[in-house]
Amino acid sequence: MDIGKVRPFWQAVLGYSWSGDEDLLDAHRQGPSFWFQRMDAPRTERNRFHIDIYVPVDQAQSRIDAALAAGGRIVRDNGPQWWTLADPEGNEADLAIWG
């Protein structure tokens, strides 16, 4: 519903950069891009998503800190291996350690 409210969270947790007003892009152009579409009404039953993001161990805490500072919250703490974070509208991402 509110792109400006959720955008900082997704930028922080993904470690991506904004391109224009609606797109998040991997700086190396290797990961998938994310496009944010403004909705006219909330959809609680469909078009919600959950993604898994794998990062090196030395990046996990800074991503968590940035996501929390951007309005996110921790839903489940299974550290030090993975954490489930949610944006201000409740969309979730698992942040996990690779390697």
pLDDT digits (tens, 9 = 90+) for 76-91: 999 889 999 999 988 8
Domain membership of residue 14 as a residue range: 3-97
- Provide the pLDDT for residue 67: 94
**Structural domains of the chain, count:** 1
For residue 69, pLDDT over 90 is answered with yes
State the average pLDDT for the chain.
83
Q: Which amino acid belongs to residue 57? A: V
User: What mean pLDDT comes out for the span 54-68?
Assistant: 92
What residues contact residue 19 under an 8 Å CB cut-off, 6+ apart? Answer: 25, 33
CATH number at residue 57: 3.10.180.10
pLDDT digits (tens, 9 = 90+) for 41-54: 766 665 566 788 88
Helices (H), 3-98: 3-14, 57-69
